[in-house]
Structure 1
């Protein structure tokens, strides 16, 4: 791991994800979370203030120890019990069918093996459990997709393996989830970086 990835990137990610234009996405998606929640890529804990009393426990998975330290500080301000796990999502150290809600926000873009991670999320969800997601990814517009493909090799290097062109909808369905509701569209900002997928999927 390079000096940039280890020392600087966690703070760059934390700063970027504090963008206030992302708050409505967090509020809407997390309002549906319930029961025992597994948050994939909890980062610095920016989602924690948006969980409702319907959530009884939060497990936060995150591969970056520096981001986990930030999340630990954020967890002190929430009434919901929070447990943090330093691990990547391709191998989730949680029992089968033991989670009510999996949450992933702006995370699938950067997981090295996103398909495998989604299969793991499906494994740990109980029958009838839900995946709540907010992700950016592949645009339906051909000219924007061309820019996404051009920029992704460079963007990955500076953005912690962030892919601008992952087909989020397809990835989720291929992993065996049934999408029951989804909203798509551009958020504020450059179009190659801001085509959003927000929705809910069931096991």
Structure 2
């Protein structure tokens, strides 16, 4: 049952949730700033319209979901874009050291198996001076909202493809050895607080 749910229901659930207006509004805050050779973690996400094609020299991406990856490739074709989108996980990127100028992660770190390993891999594949652009939902700053996140998370993970509610965002990125430049956060409109806390910004490797 679990495999059937993950294969047939979760991609549709993610596709619906990740294209809500509030979510798309937050994607637009970071993706247009990608430049050079770009790697997107979770490339099944609907980010293609937000890339500035004049600034992106090459676009690569990984996604563990065959269904979401297929959708992304169809979207590439429909938009006349080319990209190296391949199956894979963020914790074991199939790319050489110092390959990218920019790594983009949007609503992805919540569902990876090991976020610290994923961030370590992002560091490895970034060129010196490279950037991590992120917009992620995670642990709410308000005590009441955070308490609800802890209560709901065990069930939520099962129905939402392993999505976690209580993972810190900016702190995790900083702990991984990045320096976050003026990170921001807010609760998304028309979204329950236990689901709606989002943080975004740009991070560079610490010296």
CA distance in 1, matches of 2:99, 2:30: 21
Tell which deviates more after alignment, 162-171 or 19-28: 19-28
Residues 35 and 56, structure 2, Cα contact 8 Å, conserved in 1: yes
Give the equivalent residue in structure 2 for 1:64: 65
TM-score of the superposed pair, with normalisation by structure 2: 0.94
Residues 18 and 24, structure 2, Cα contact 8 Å, conserved in 1: no
How far does residue 79 in structure 1 lie from its aligned partner after superposition? 4.8
Give the equivalent residue in structure 1 for 2:23: 22
Superposed, which structure 2 residues align to 1:1-203 within 5 Å?
A: 2-43=3-44, 45-52=45-52, 53-188=54-189, 189-203=191-205
Structure 2, gaps ≥5 residues long: none
How far does residue 8 in structure 1 lie from its aligned partner after superposition? 1.6
CA distance in 1, matches of 2:78, 2:4: 31
Residues 95 and 124, structure 1, Cα contact 8 Å, conserved in 2: yes
How far does residue 55 in structure 1 lie from its aligned partner after superposition? 0.7
Residues 39 and 61, structure 2, Cα contact 8 Å, conserved in 1: yes
Residues 138 and 166, structure 1, Cα contact 8 Å, conserved in 2: yes
Provide the aligned C-alpha RMSD in A. Answer: 1.1
CA distance in 2, matches of 1:33, 1:80: 16
1:54-79 CA-partner distances (Å, limit 9, x unpaired): 01111111000011100000011345
CA distance in 2, matches of 1:73, 1:56: 21
Residues 55 and 80, structure 1, Cα contact 8 Å, conserved in 2: no
How far does residue 23 in structure 1 lie from its aligned partner after superposition? 2.2
Tell which deviates more after alignment, 75-84 or 51-60: 75-84
TM-score of the superposed pair, with normalisation by structure 1: 0.96
Structure 1, gaps ≥5 residues long: none
SS of residue in 2 equivalent to 1:146 = helix
Tell which deviates more after alignment, 167-176 or 120-129: 167-176
Residues 58 and 80, structure 1, Cα contact 8 Å, conserved in 2: no
